[in-house]
Amino acid sequence: MRYAPLAAAFATVWLIGGCAANQGAQPSAAATPAPAAQAAPGSPSVSTTLGPPLSEAQFRTLVVGNTLFRPLATGGTTVIYVASDQSMRLRIVSTGGKAVSDKGRETLSPDKVCWEWEHAGSPLCFKYYWNGRLLTLEAIGSKIQPSQFLIEKGNAEKI
């Protein structure tokens, strides 16, 4: 299948739990965090582990028109640009420099964002959080580790 490498690479992005390089420049866009969700007594709060959840308007202000950048533990990178019409462009580059690209669409609702890519199968839906530096997306209905992104203003990678 022509897009099998893309599907495998995209799956790898979500299966790699941590961000290899969570250090770096502060995102140029910021949102005022919403109040943290309540956690069960004795358990860590959502804001402690992921940052406070964002409102739909805060997510839109932070993400739409900007670039999400995620260094991968393997040394590669994931770059996603979300345009003002909520169309999306994705580029994943491996450590060896091989790149795969895709186009998609974002659907935003008050409690989740769903991303549907042309060549990656079913939509992926996430809850969204902001810790003041990193956007964290937690997959809904999956045991995939949360993914963290730095945010760069505009279409920083020209994808």
Question: What's the mean pLDDT when you consider all of the chain?
Answer: 78
- Is a pLDDT exceeding 90 seen at residue 17? no
φ and ψ at 60, to 5 degrees?
-60, -45
Three-state SS for the chain is CCCHHHHHHHHHHHHCCCCCCCCCCCCCCCCCCCCCCCCCCCCCCHHHHCCCECCHHHHHHHHCCCEEEEECCCCCEEEEEECCCCEEEEEEECCCCCEEEEEEEEEEECCEEEEEECCCCCCEEEEEEECCCCEEEEECCCCCCCEEEEEECCCCCCC
**Residue range 10-22: mean pLDDT, rounded:** 37
User: Per the domain annotation, does 36 fall within a domain?
Assistant: no
Q: Which residues pair with 114 in a beta bridge?
A: 107, 125
**What is the pLDDT, as a whole number, of residue 143?**
86
φ and ψ at 93, to 5 degrees?
-120, 125
φ and ψ at 13, to 5 degrees?
-55, -45
User: Per the domain annotation, does 142 fall within a domain?
Assistant: yes
Higher pLDDT, 48 or 146: 146
Q: How far is CA 68 from CA 63, 65, 83, 112, 141, in A?
A: 8, 10, 11, 17, 22
User: Per the domain annotation, does 29 fall within a domain?
Assistant: no
- Is a pLDDT exceeding 70 seen at residue 132? yes
User: Per the domain annotation, does 114 fall within a domain?
Assistant: yes
Q: What is the pLDDT of residues 73-130, one digit of tens each?
A: 999 999 999 999 999 999 999 999 999 999 999 999 999 999 999 998 889 999 999 9
**Residue range 143-150: mean pLDDT, rounded:** 92
User: Per the domain annotation, does 38 fall within a domain?
Assistant: no
User: Per the domain annotation, does 43 fall within a domain?
Assistant: no
Residue-number span of the structural domain to which 86 is assigned: 4-19+50-152
User: Per the domain annotation, does 127 fall within a domain?
Assistant: yes
**Residue range 44-68: mean pLDDT, rounded:** 85
- Tally of structural domains, the chain: 1
Higher pLDDT, 28 or 153: 153
- Is a pLDDT exceeding 80 seen at residue 13? no
Burial of 98 (0-12, 13-18, 19+ CB in 10 A): exposed
User: Per the domain annotation, does 24 fall within a domain?
Assistant: no
Give the predicted TM-score (pTM) of the model. 0.72
**What is the pLDDT, as a whole number, of residue 44?**
44
**What is the pLDDT, as a whole number, of residue 27?**
38
**What is the pLDDT, as a whole number, of residue 48?**
52
> Which CATH number does the domain housing residue 86 bear?
2.40.128.370
